[in-house]
Structure 1
Amino acid sequence: MMIFRKVGAVFFSATFLLAACGQGEEESSTSYREPFEGKVEHVHGVGFVGGDDLALAAHDGLKFYSDGNCQRTTSENNDYMGFNAVDNGFYTSGHPGKDSPLPNPIGIQKSNDLGQNLDAVAFEGEFDFHLMGVGYENHAIYIWNEHGNEALEEGLHKSLDEGKSFEAVESSGVKGEIKDLAVHPTNEEMIAVATKQGIFLSEDGGQTFDALSEKPNGTFVYFKEDTLTYGTFDSQAHVIRYAIEDQSFEEIAIPKFEQDAVAYFSSDPEEENRMMIFSFKNDGYYTENGGKNWSKIVDQGKSERIKREDNH
């Protein structure tokens, strides 16, 4: 059985070629973004930032899909990890790019202008967090520190004051190595983690977790106000939507993957049926109708304009 990782030495390199994307299109209205073609390595998150724009966080900056075309940033081309879109921008961790004055590692940073400027939140110059979740509206920050030191011990920590202070939390009940974590958009005490042994949900700020699904190989977790969407992999990839109030489960129809699974997922904050999935092996799909029809926008590393076609 194939086991997938988001972090560590055996992380599937999310490398894909954005070829001829944006060619022939009008220049961006700002010099910060321009039509792009080239190589992008190590995607560590996707999210709808600034309304309609779909961002992919990569090791050399952000790449945006807007009106079916792709663009790149012209500055702050940092190695973004732990990327989380929020209501007024995004939070991220990682390492500075060649043109950035940021220290290495960058700790936790926040941007309110699509990444043109970054503001230090915490641990600048000290940590790089691959596993970080931030609530979309409440901005509650949860981090899993894999390598503790005197500044921050190993394990799960949270900040409910936008990074001014952090406290360790017990995280009892979690089984298996954590692959992803997510925070509810308005309830700062509700978080979820995906591990090699399943999906686990906490409603007491991470102190205790209950198994929501113990299917093997949890791959991602993603909250909206009323739902938790998560991924698993057995002999094939699955995306499940869990309704928090009535505790029901619904499987979302996704394209068929060959020995691959969904690494990252995001949906439009204003329209749940508008979603993107990105796989460990560099395939990306976009839907506007909740998965009834999918458009393949990244095909084994090659990016295309967003099209309207059925790829079930």
Structure 2
Amino acid sequence: MKTKKLLIALGLASLLTIVSACGSDSQARQGSETDPYFIGEVVEDREQTFSYSHIHGLSKHPEDNNKLLLASHYGLIEYDKKTKEGYFVGSERFDLMGYSVIPGTSILMTSGHPGEGSKLPDPLGFLWSEDFGETWEVRGLHGMIDFHGLTATSDQSKILGYGSDYNTDAVFVSYNQGYKWEVVKTKGLPLAHDEFFDFALAPNNGDIAYAATNQGLFYSNDGGVNWEKKLDGFMTAVYVIGEDEVIFYEASQNGLFRIKGEEIFSYDLYLGSDAVLYLIAEEDPSEVTVATFQNNILTTSNHGETWETLVEEGNFPQ
């Protein structure tokens, strides 16, 4: 595996527009941290969907490796890689933001904005699901914070969130599964919405975190307070396998890379004017799935030697 050296010209300004497009122009309303409640209902006869306009998160289904969960603008979508069919999950059709799965569990986390006609507060704050997105518990900061990134340790003892009250971008931390939150006084991490793209905690160590920004790959060993630049570049996505093993996408080189200790490996992935927005990996890092800014989803099981296109431009295969 050879590290790529070729630099290409990317339309990075247009990518930034897509990242920041979903949000509200209004000021955040007053919310509460003490009155969680549930939204949504289990739906047996699910509504099929044949496409999506864009997504704000990607994960494997926690109990079915043949399925992906896509956090879309109009609700959570379950996509079956075998049948090539997509169905909305649950009854709520809201704009999911910051979506992720807690590593090694069946717990989903998200934030976002209410769907059309909803009486829910905007933004929704922090939401938690233990039934694969059928129903959600609104646990904290509802009507207050719009999270665009969420990450947690496997034991759920620590959750970090990157979010905004529409005035200030900040990192937040919760030590009780999202019911109470504190602002993290970070140092050294670019936090503006057009600088910060993605971050993740090490699954088994809440002190270790990595962040993908337009100024490089950043690293923290004190739980997200102090950050230092590990690599230069325009990083748009990151996935943490362990304390010293991380996969990331660097847009200016159009390359997907993996760091393990002091070694750097590359995956053979060339996207032209596109770039990776979200990525997930198996315990075996040769198996990676990526979602791109232009709504493509690709997967590899051999460290990038070959790639299969699962979804093209947001359209499920017919």
TM-score of the aligned structures, taking structure 1 as reference length: 0.79
Question: What is the alpha-carbon distance in structure 1 between the residues aligned to residue 281 and residue 317 of structure 2?
Answer: 20
Q: Decide whether aligned partners of structure 1 residues 35 and 117 sit closer, same or farther in structure 2, where only a CA change above 3 A counts.
A: closer
Question: What is the alpha-carbon distance in structure 1 between the residues aligned to residue 106 and residue 178 of structure 2?
Answer: 16
Aligned to 2:79: 65
* 1:2 and 2:10 aligned: yes
SS of structure 1 residue aligned to 2:187 = coil
- The Cα of 1:7 is off from its aligned counterpart by 8.8
| CA RMSD of superposed structures (Å) | 2.8
* 1:219 and 2:233 aligned: no
For residues 31-52 of structure 1, the C-alpha deviation after alignment (integer angstroms, 9 at most, x for no partner) is 4464734341220110113222
Q: Decide whether aligned partners of structure 1 residues 8 and 257 sit closer, same or farther in structure 2, where only a CA change above 3 A counts.
A: closer
- The Cα of 1:237 is off from its aligned counterpart by 1.6
Aligned to 1:75: 91
- The Cα of 1:165 is off from its aligned counterpart by 2.7
SS of structure 2 residue aligned to 1:40 = coil
Question: What is the alpha-carbon distance in structure 2 between the residues aligned to residue 167 and residue 293 of structure 1?
Answer: 44
Aligned to 2:185: 170
Which residue identity lines up with residue 262 of structure 2 in the other structure? Q
Which residue identity lines up with residue 272 of structure 2 in the other structure? E
Contact 1:76/1:115 (8 A) holds in 2: no
Aligned partner of 1:287 among 294, 300, 311: 300
* 1:46 and 2:63 aligned: no
Aligned to 2:211: 193
Aligned partner of 1:110 among 119, 123, 128: 128
Question: What is the alpha-carbon distance in structure 1 between the residues aligned to residue 300 and residue 289 of structure 2?
Answer: 7
Aligned partner of 2:259 among 218, 242, 245: 242
Contact 1:135/1:188 (8 A) holds in 2: yes
Q: How does 1:114-193 map to 2 (within 5 A)?
A: 114-138=132-156, 140-147=158-165, 154-175=169-190, 177-193=195-211
TM-score of the aligned structures, taking structure 2 as reference length: 0.78
Contact 1:138/1:188 (8 A) holds in 2: no
- The Cα of 1:114 is off from its aligned counterpart by 1.2
Q: Decide whether aligned partners of structure 1 residues 260 and 33 sit closer, same or farther in structure 2, where only a CA change above 3 A counts.
A: farther
Q: Decide whether aligned partners of structure 1 residues 7 and 260 sit closer, same or farther in structure 2, where only a CA change above 3 A counts.
A: closer
Question: What is the alpha-carbon distance in structure 1 between the residues aligned to residue 312 and residue 182 of structure 2?
Answer: 42
Which residue identity lines up with residue 230 of structure 2 in the other structure? L
For residues 187-220 of structure 1, the C-alpha deviation after alignment (integer angstroms, 9 at most, x for no partner) is 11111111111000101011211211112x1101
Q: Decide whether aligned partners of structure 1 residues 248 and 271 sit closer, same or farther in structure 2, where only a CA change above 3 A counts.
A: closer
Q: How does 1:94-105 map to 2 (within 5 A)?
A: 94-98=112-116, 102-105=120-123
Question: What is the alpha-carbon distance in structure 2 between the residues aligned to residue 72 and residue 257 of structure 1?
Answer: 27
Contact 1:33/1:72 (8 A) holds in 2: no
Aligned to 1:27: none
For residues 91-128 of structure 1, the C-alpha deviation after alignment (integer angstroms, 9 at most, x for no partner) is 00001234866433211101111111101221112222
Q: What percentage of aligned pairs have identical amino acids?
A: 26
Question: What is the alpha-carbon distance in structure 1 between the residues aligned to residue 94 and residue 136 of structure 2?
Answer: 11
* 1:229 and 2:247 aligned: yes
How many residues in Structure 1 have an aligned counterpart in Structure 2?
281
